[in-house]
Structure 1
Amino acid sequence: MHTGSSPRILDNLTTAVLTFDADLRLTSINPAGEMLFEISAKKAVGQRLAELLPHARLATRTLNQTLESRHPITARGVPLKLPGHRIITVDCTVTPLTDAGADGALLVELTQVDRLLRLARDESMLERQAANRAVMRGLAHEIKNPLGGLRGAAQLLERELPDKSLREYTRIIIHEADRLRNLVDRMMGPHKPLKKQPVNIHEILEHVRKLMLVEVPVGLTLERDYDPSLPEFDGEPEQLTQAVLNIVRNSAEAIQHQGTIRLRTGIERSFTIGQKRHRLVLRADIEDSGPGIPEEIQEHIFYPMVTAKPGGTGLGLSIAQDIIAKHGGLIECRSRPGHTVFSIYLPLENGHG
């Protein structure tokens, strides 16, 4: 917590811990609280609760009740409206402080339930995708072996055919065998090992932005909201560009190449990917105002062949997720009609900043 006498252990908690005085002015906040409210301790300390959370009347009422009764209060599953129209669900505990010099002070602990649900969902998704990739590798091997035999037989047959007009049929067999093999390879995603080097995420995003503006020269706008303080990290630029390009193309198709896509970057602290907690994680958002992803496929959009687009292969997002996973990261999606956000998370343990 950002007061001189506070124990360092509070700085590493994932629970937001805040203290208020008897006038409900914030006296301290730990890093998890800063991240939750998206505000620095320097700016937040000294603000009244009503200034910090202008739309959270229930929170104000709860703290006032605790001040009057001097009894701890715990509330679970409380919706909390944050600045920027974000609504989260938290478990909240308010405890009166009885230490000397803390008369009337309150300790507030906020645990974001959405975050715990996200961790369970993400871990399940990563496990299913790992199992899915193992099945796909076996399936690819079983498919490509007979395809190679078919192709070879067609080539031999083509040499023996006396009538050249019949070779059109063998060429169709060869062409279709090659097409199926390429489809299987695409389903498996990039199989080359990563050639990592220091990467700047903004250079990746800018490259994709320029590619898309050439690809769709009229009707599409790509806005940028970058955090210039983000450090470099170790990654492979070519594969990361492919992952971001697949997502941006998906967003462009969702808005039918007419409208605005927003590219945004930032930092997440004490962020968990799978079962590993990272001190710092880079976040890159791709946001569009399209019709949204149908609810029935939202849990499965990162699997091959899952798509809401007529004629789509459903491989773009699957390949993107595979590339980001190889970098130790994760892609999440939040979607409702009129608002879809794909968030790319990449650990910064190897940051160069």
Structure 2
Amino acid sequence: MAFGTVARASKRFQAFDLLATLVVVIRHDGTIVFANSALEDALGTSRRTLEGAALGNFFVDAGTLRTAIDGARTNDFATLRYEAQLRRGTQEPLPVQVTLAQTDRKAELLLEMSPQEQQVRQDREVRLLDQAQANKELIRNLAHEIKNPLGGIRGAAQLLQMEIESRDLIEYTQVIIHEADRLQSLVDRLLAPHRRPHVVGDVNIHEVCERVRSVLLAEFPHDLEVERDFDPSIPEFRGDREQLIQATLNIAHNAAQALAERRAAGDARITFRTRIARQVILNKQWWRLALELHVIDNGPGVPDSIKDRIFYPLVSGREGGTGLGLTLAQTFVQQHHGVIECDSVPGRTDFTILIPLP
């Protein structure tokens, strides 16, 4: 293909470089006319190398692609979807969902490929978002339903305590008052993230990590190692610093408590790792850049029985836990248009905070 033709094609399709999905435009003979930057990254091959090459060379099964092209060429369908695998040099093939459609020029076809792992992740994020919204409504309704009768119970116990003289009976009323106060505190914690205003300012994520690290080391000064693995190129961004400190602290503190056996053995470790993610879809929106903050521990892992429910309110894997820490953390991060993900196996648990960057 002549250089001028390549340049014109690249200019005509340059909008596809904004997409996170893999996009390629081909002729009916399978020759690549244009490949977007996401496909370049996925294949580890430059656009100059891809354009003019046969697309079938990059598929594990080129026969299915050929059949799809023939069907489009003979107008058997307007759009076709199927699953395939992309070759990536020495790496494992990449499973993708292929959507093949005709362009405005009859001699060209457009293929959009979504990595299946990316699709799974997007589906999971949608579920988390829906779950968080349902949790928010449940918490608000439940808290308000508890709050009013709770005040009445406490007030009645106080009045009763003023009328009785028996020390044994007073102890009972004090138990009622104490438990009412404890439930009131729980209700306040449930409502806290919905009451507190979102205070936006410039946030340095490494300052957030250092603050959390100092709190952890103050509580576990002798038996916990807290490592840093920072990417210094990550820019400041607009956000609520205190909310992000609280979200990170809730995750890290859970990790430190889960490391009880490791702390006793003297090899407990938590790592804060920051990285830049590129071309990320968060909450159904595409972002060119996103912050990745990993909180990694070498503990026993999240119990299988609660892995799918760890962000639900009042779900805890620790005896005596309230099950609010991760729920509040997820709420705070979602207020920054982000999400928290968890990947856990025995010996390594990785909570990842993803927040879009401008």
Question: Which TM-score band applies after superposition, normalised by the shorter structure?
Answer: 0.7 to 0.9
Following the alignment from structure 2 to structure 1, what is the Cα–Cα distance between the partners of residues 243 and 133? 19
2:324 matched residue in structure 1: 315
Following the alignment from structure 1 to structure 2, what is the Cα–Cα distance between the partners of residues 218 and 339? 21
The root-mean-square deviation of aligned C-alpha atoms, in Å, is 3.7
Which residue of 100, 120, 123 maps to 1:120? 123
Q: How far did residue 277 of structure 1 move?
A: 2.4
Aligned partner of residue 314 in structure 2, secondary structure: coil
Between Structure 1 and Structure 2, the one with more helix by share is 2
Between 197-206 and 276-285, the greater mean CA deviation after superposition: 276-285
| 1:269 to 2:278 alignment | yes
Following the alignment from structure 1 to structure 2, what is the Cα–Cα distance between the partners of residues 76 and 213? 49
- Structure 2 runs not aligned, ≥5 long: 1-5, 26-33, 70-80, 101-109
Q: How far did residue 169 of structure 1 move?
A: 2.4
- Contact kept, 8 Å, 2:338 with 2:354, in 1: the verdict is yes
| 1:347 to 2:356 alignment | yes
Which residue of 7, 11, 15 maps to 1:9? 15
Q: Do the aligned partners of residues 291 and 87 (structure 1) sit closer, same or farther apart at CA in structure 2, a change above 3 Å counting? A: farther
Q: How far did residue 88 of structure 1 move?
A: 5.9
Aligned partner of residue 308 in structure 2, secondary structure: helix
- Contact kept, 8 Å, 1:77 with 1:113, in 2: the verdict is no
- Contact kept, 8 Å, 1:283 with 1:345, in 2: the verdict is yes
Q: Per-residue CA shift, 1:15-73, capped at 9, x if unaligned?
A: 23589xxxxxxxx9744246657x8xxxx649999xxxxxxxxx99866986xx99989
- Contact kept, 8 Å, 1:227 with 1:266, in 2: the verdict is yes
| 1:149 to 2:152 alignment | yes
Q: How far did residue 266 of structure 1 move?
A: 1.7
1:174 matched residue in structure 2: 177
Counterparts of 1:1-353 in structure 2 under 5 Å?
A: 6-7=10-11, 8-16=14-22, 30-33=36-39, 36=42, 45=46, 76=83, 78=85, 89-91=95-97, 111-163=114-166, 166-190=169-193, 191-256=195-260, 257=263, 258-349=267-358
- Structure 1 runs not aligned, ≥5 long: 20-27, 50-58, 95-106
- Contact kept, 8 Å, 1:282 with 1:348, in 2: the verdict is yes
Following the alignment from structure 1 to structure 2, what is the Cα–Cα distance between the partners of residues 246 and 90? 36
Matching residue's letter, 1:76: E
Q: How far did residue 109 of structure 1 move?
A: 7.2
Aligned partner of residue 271 in structure 1, secondary structure: strand
Q: How far did residue 255 of structure 1 move?
A: 2.7
Between 173-182 and 301-310, the greater mean CA deviation after superposition: 301-310
Q: How far did residue 289 of structure 1 move?
A: 2.5
Q: Do the aligned partners of residues 64 and 181 (structure 1) sit closer, same or farther apart at CA in structure 2, a change above 3 Å counting? A: closer
Q: Do the aligned partners of residues 81 and 220 (structure 1) sit closer, same or farther apart at CA in structure 2, a change above 3 Å counting? A: farther
Q: Do the aligned partners of residues 283 and 87 (structure 1) sit closer, same or farther apart at CA in structure 2, a change above 3 Å counting? A: farther
- Contact kept, 8 Å, 2:40 with 2:46, in 1: the verdict is no
Following the alignment from structure 1 to structure 2, what is the Cα–Cα distance between the partners of residues 215 and 87? 46
- Contact kept, 8 Å, 1:255 with 1:289, in 2: the verdict is yes
Q: Do the aligned partners of residues 89 and 342 (structure 1) sit closer, same or farther apart at CA in structure 2, a change above 3 Å counting? A: farther
Q: Do the aligned partners of residues 89 and 295 (structure 1) sit closer, same or farther apart at CA in structure 2, a change above 3 Å counting? A: farther
Aligned partner of residue 302 in structure 2, secondary structure: coil
Q: How far did residue 82 of structure 1 move?
A: 9.3
Q: How far did residue 133 of structure 1 move?
A: 1.4
Q: Do the aligned partners of residues 248 and 60 (structure 1) sit closer, same or farther apart at CA in structure 2, a change above 3 Å counting? A: farther
Following the alignment from structure 2 to structure 1, what is the Cα–Cα distance between the partners of residues 142 and 61? 62
Aligned length: 313
Q: How far did residue 308 of structure 1 move?
A: 2.1
- Contact kept, 8 Å, 1:287 with 1:342, in 2: the verdict is yes
Following the alignment from structure 1 to structure 2, what is the Cα–Cα distance between the partners of residues 4 and 208? 50
Q: Per-residue CA shift, 1:246-294, capped at 9, x if unaligned?
A: 1111222233244222211122233222222223221111112222223
Following the alignment from structure 1 to structure 2, what is the Cα–Cα distance between the partners of residues 274 and 164? 58
Aligned partner of residue 267 in structure 1, secondary structure: strand
Between 117-126 and 248-257, the greater mean CA deviation after superposition: 248-257
Matching residue's letter, 1:124: R
Q: Percent identity?
A: 43
TM-score by length of 1: 0.75
Matching residue's letter, 2:200: K
Matching residue's letter, 1:130: Q
Q: Do the aligned partners of residues 63 and 278 (structure 1) sit closer, same or farther apart at CA in structure 2, a change above 3 Å counting? A: closer
